[in-house]
Chain A
Amino acid sequence: MDLLLQVIANGLTVGGTYALGAIGVSLVFGVLNIINFGQGASYTVAAYIAMVLMVSAGAPVVVAFAGGIVAAFVVGWIVERIAVRPLRDQPLLMSLITTMGLGLIIENLAHFIFGPQTQPLSPTLTADVFQLGMITVSTWELVTLAVVVAAIACLHYVLHHTDFGTAVRAVAEDRRAAQLLGIDVDRLIVVSFCIASAMGGAAGVLGAALYNSIYPTMGSLSMTKAFAASVLGGMEQIAGAIVGGLLLGIAESVTSVYLSSAWRDAIAFGLLVAVLVVKPTGLLGRRGLDKVERTNLSIFPLPPVPKLDLRQPLLALPIAIAIALPLVVTDTYYLRILTIMAMSGTIALSLNLIAGFAGLVSLGHAAFYGFGAYATAILSTRYGVPTWISMGIAIAATGVFGALFAWPMMRLRGHYVAMGTFGLSGVVWMVMLNWVDLTRGPMGIRAIPAPSFFGSELRGVGFYYLILAILVISTFVVLALLNSPFGRALRAMRDDELGMASVGVDPRVIKAKVFVVSAAIAGAAGAFWAHYISFISPDSFTPVASISYLAMVVLGGLGSVPGAIFGGAVLAALPELLRFASEYRLAIYGLIMVLIILFRTQGLLGRRHDIPSRKAPVARRAVVKEVG
């Protein structure tokens, strides 16, 4: 009993920091109807600024913490001005990509300045411990709870008892109407964004103080938990975010004590998925999905789909060049880069089916790629299955896995799909990391055999031709499907699901098929990778890796087949060629995502939209609103 109380008390404190972050997520979602995937940067920046103030400037703790929170406030301003405001009239999903990109850049900046290692917030930071009845609490736990309560009280007062708060709620209900009433919507949005970011910053410094440790990617993990808490509470509900945060904290605390601490971080991912599957509106949500439907991407016409005809130069020429390249490029290092380029092109090609053509922004692609890699690695090392057969099985299994993966996504739209796939990808990653008996956990799987071809083991050039074959076959499969009734339905679904259903095509069937094909192709790339590199570990298959695949598709142009392959190849080659920058690969990806969306939204090879963009988001309305 004592232990349980203690566990719950610990969970409440940590949950308090999750609640703060979740409030930030919910506030932004309520006002702008977008999810700020750059929220993680607020945590990181606030914590590092607090550390600098304390350790380098010798500032008192209170000043340092306030400084950190102010810095997070400024980060909010930067993110809003750069990644959100310029895209006000674009499909809402565009800001998902830019905020994510900006978040990656800022996080990597911390990495650049302070190094990748985990360090103490302050070496002199101490905590007294008190006995409160049956439970023990530390100063930091008490401070955390006090700050959480104070922050929530302040926010409640501001939202419900000031003109500013009334205006915020008015904008959340109907931005255009609020604008007509003379509310300065731009200012209000930026201030809300800053407040949300400051909430994240507060969570960042408090979390750092609780564990007295900081590291550059701390923000991403905290952000995941804020998402989970916010979704659990019903997205738009401040009260829901608080309840969600506290519940998540307690659930984690209970899990790590009574089950296993290894699975602690899996709770957030699992919860995210479970809530979205079972009750997407969350515990306290009212409105749910109808507000989210406007996140469509259909503002962009897709570039013409190349015909499936080998005689056209667009198809024949690149294939001929790719086949001839090893005659010129004999250096093993460059051959290796070419191989990686072809592999990334394959993955981007497959993700483009989901993100570009189906219009579902999936942040879960690393799960497919990783599933294929692990499936073939486990089959060939543990069960001695011949490599070609195990690769075949891995591809088929990943396809099936894709269908399972798609099933919970069926009911979701827009940002919810992004969060759901992100969560699922996290669950898969956690399984790779923690199901040690099967996957060998963080140690990874070694000595994965190379396939043999006519009696000799595949080596450098052989591997290059293997992945090239996979890429070419995949391209043919994709083009064959796009140039068919299925392909037309796929593109139609991106424009209007309801319209498509009304002509007798079930959107769920289309989605399931597209996920199966996409997953199988990504699985083929993963299976190739496992045998090529002969060692795999969960590090290559994190949700962050999924984001980099999305960056490839965005660079090439959502919905452009050559664009995706091109984007994948270029982004894979870039960090290799810029050796000095390879550590900042993610920052480069982030920068590309931001720049492309801001200045060439349709991507390098996408098609520009040629009519005024203001009309499209209005034309789309939820079914419910069509009531005569």
Chain B
Amino acid sequence: MRNALLEVTDLSRRFGGLTAVDGLNFHVNDGEIVSIIGPNGAGKTTAFNLITCIYPPSAGAISFDGLNLVGLPLHRIAAAGIGRTFQNLRVFANLTARENILVGLTRHARASFLETLFHGGRFRAEEEALAAEADRLVALLDLTPVADQLVRNLPYGDQRRVEIARALATKPKILLLDEPAAGMTPPEIEELNGMIRRLRDELGKTVLMVEHHMSLVMEISDRIIVMDQGRKIAEGTPDEVRSNPLVISAYLGSGVV
């Protein structure tokens, strides 16, 4: 077995009386595409928010690449190697697509305050390097035609890709995608499918995603984790999950797959 890149152990989170995530255990190996599925309110997004330190867990451990993530502030996870997108987009609406990506690159900027003030040689060289890197990501996510438009004016599917590009800009080892297909048209989902594969195959990214769109999940995932009421009720390859009676009764119901 390959090394687990991300390992979640006995993770729990309570909100008042509600236990949104309840003793969750799973791992993601380097280079895998893993999906978390489950009915609404199963605790998928909460699990994401716990892993990305948006709020602390009530109990349990999260280790990523040998680093304990519990208690880390949100802005440190990018340095740890985690990039994420959000269920309800959190793009910078009043910046252009390219600028969104450039903000994602901010943490690689090294020029000092004085170099920035005087726009010195190192600053200029660095700005050029960042711009080139942004161009590369623009091309990678097919954003070239809209790169210089304000994100607020872009269609939903483009905004999602801007958010993914922004997350990629931080050079993460793992990419956490929270419902990347939400609001996308079928052709856009088809493109997304190819794109996520490219991320893994060409860029070597590991992908963990929450997704409702079953055909996408089934086609793309190496492994699927099924959650219901805060717990993991099943785990396995798409075929294993598809035929798991627990999953069928809890989530898929009859006739969905």
Contacts and interface: CB of A to CB of B under 8 A. Distances in A.
A and B part of one assembly? yes
Interface of A: 298, 300-302, 308, 477, 480-481, 483-486, 488-489, 491-492, 494-496, 498-507, 610-611, 616, 619, 621, 623-624, 626-628
A619 B88 CA distance: 8
Contacts of B77: 502, 504
A628 B55 contact: no
Given A498-B54, A502-B84, A626 B45 contact: yes
A481 B109 CA distance: 13
A498 B95 CA distance: 15
A500 B46 contact: no
A496 B92 contact: yes
Interface string B121-153: 001000100100000000000000000001011
B251 interface: no
Given A496-B92, A505-B107, A610-B153, 11 more contacts: A485-B109, A485-B130, A489-B103, A491-B94, A491-B95, A498-B90, A502-B83, A503-B83, A504-B79, A628-B40, A628-B87
Nearest to B179: A628
Interface in B69-108: 73-79, 83-84, 86-95, 99-100, 102-107
Contacts of A481: 116-117
Nearest to B94: A301
B223 interface: no
A626 B74 contact: no
A492 B46 contact: no
Contacts of A501: 73-75
Given A502-B78, A626-B87, A492 B45 contact: no
Interface stretch (B22-30, B166-174, B235-243): B166-174
B95 A485 contact: no
Contacts of A498: 54, 74, 86, 90
15 contacts: A300-B94, A301-B152, A484-B127, A485-B116, A488-B103, A492-B100, A502-B52, A504-B77, A504-B107, A611-B153, A616-B152, A623-B54, A626-B86, A627-B46, A628-B45
Closest 10 CB pairs of A and B: A504-B78, A628-B45, A499-B90, A504-B107, A485-B109, A495-B92, A506-B75, A501-B75, A501-B74, A492-B92
Question: A interface, by DSSP: helix, strand, loop or mixed?
Answer: helix
Contacts of A503: 78, 83, 103-104, 106-107, 166-167, 169-170
B44 interface: yes
Contact of B106 (A298, A505, A624): A505
Nearest to B227: A628
A492 B74 contact: no
A489 B89 CA distance: 18
A500 B75 CA distance: 8
A338 to B, nearest CB: 27
B95 A477 contact: no
A506 B73 contact: yes
B42 A628 contact: yes
Contacts of B166: 499, 503
B153 A626 contact: no
Contacts of A626: 45, 49, 86-88
Contacts of B130: 485
Residue from A300, A484, A506 with most neighbouring chain B CB atoms (10 Å): A484
Contacts of B86: 498-499, 502, 626
A371 B33 CA distance: 56
A621 B78 CA distance: 22
Contacts of A506: 73, 75
B41 interface: yes
Contacts of B55: 623
B82 to A, nearest CB: 9
Contacts of A502: 52, 74-75, 77-78, 83-84, 86, 90, 167
A627 B20 contact: yes
Given A507-B75, A611-B152, A499 B92 contact: yes
B95 to A, nearest CB: 6
